[in-house]
Copies of this chain bind each other. A is one copy, B any other.
């Protein structure tokens, strides 16, 4: 059911010709209220697509009536013409929905540099067709319309006590942290004000999407938007809602990890006993971004030296010669020296667990990543051609 699982939402996904395959490529999600609360987080890349520049302004008042999303073109580095396209998209949706353009969020994904007259015409027509087709059961179609190289749509639902959270996500590459790392729409019929929605969204994404680092490449178009209808009439406690939202975000993040371009392993890197949570994240991310480590995992090679070589490049507090490393439950390195034989490690399962014990504090963090494979190289050397 995706984003239409909670009460108060309608959605649609249509094919507007942006994708050469003829697949769905424009989605609209509308909040029918009674609340029209919205919150969003955006890529921290300074190179921001036109929809990001628009949506960042539009979210300032904490009111969102609708989100229009397209695949098949990023509308990034397309100049003032591209910004006008985004603006016209919001105005078109606003006019048809009878709301203000400033309350329409716009998201795009696809090839950077794509956003000409043909793109504009298709996006505007698709927006109109999607709004014509809005439906209480449109969440599935919407989740399909935002796919790019994704092999499957990503959806999640959490049922609270009388209230619900729904979500959809797209993303299979250029997945790296920076507030948000993909296109995600989250919806809820719980009752929250705009400050609560913003705080919950930031807390939830910080420990989910921000801890996913598939390929170290930060996108120009990433946005996570939360829409609050309040249609359940139920007001959960902030902690309860935030925990539920975080579980939905982590569910979607794991779906993104599991569908990352060309990946053969889903790698969970748990850093234990760090001096601070930031240290734990920095250490985990250094491993997640090390191509030699990632290629070794692809080859089912428990080359733990590459873990230590990676974390040695960080500024985190620890003694490089007193670190333990486990690979799939086997402690291969203790206190800076070999422990159990490499041959004891079985890296054939897709799920791969790396544990790094820094032995200096009480903080922990888990980073999700993927291996570096032939298929990753293939997909990313042929994407725009």
Contact = CB atoms under 8 A, between A and B. Distances in A.
Interface in A353-385: 372-374, 376-378, 380-385
Contact of A308 (B47, B111, B299, B374): B47
Contacts of A320: 46-48
A385 B301 contact: yes
14 contacts: A47-B320, A77-B338, A78-B337, A82-B337, A111-B305, A112-B304, A112-B306, A112-B309, A218-B309, A218-B313, A295-B377, A295-B380, A296-B384, A374-B378
Interface residues of A, number: 62
Given A47-B311, A301-B382, A113 B215 contact: no
A209 B64 CA distance: 52
A305 B113 CA distance: 6
A220 interface: yes
A359 to B, nearest CB: 15
A298 interface: yes
A295 B112 contact: no
A226 interface: no
Given A215-B291, A290-B217, A296 B381 contact: yes
Interface of A: 45-48, 74, 76-79, 82, 111-113, 173-174, 178, 215-220, 289-292, 295-296, 298-299, 301, 303-306, 308-314, 320-321, 333, 335-338, 342, 372-374, 376-378, 380-385
Q: Which secondary structure dominates chain A's binding surface?
A: loop
Given A48-B312, A372-B377, 6 more contacts: A46-B312, A174-B309, A299-B380, A299-B382, A303-B384, A373-B377
A374 B46 CA distance: 31
A308 B301 CA distance: 34
A305 B77 contact: yes
Question: Could you say which of A173, A219, A320 has the most chain B C-beta atoms within 10 Å of its C-beta?
Answer: A320
Given A47-B312, A291-B380, A292-B173, A112 B79 contact: no
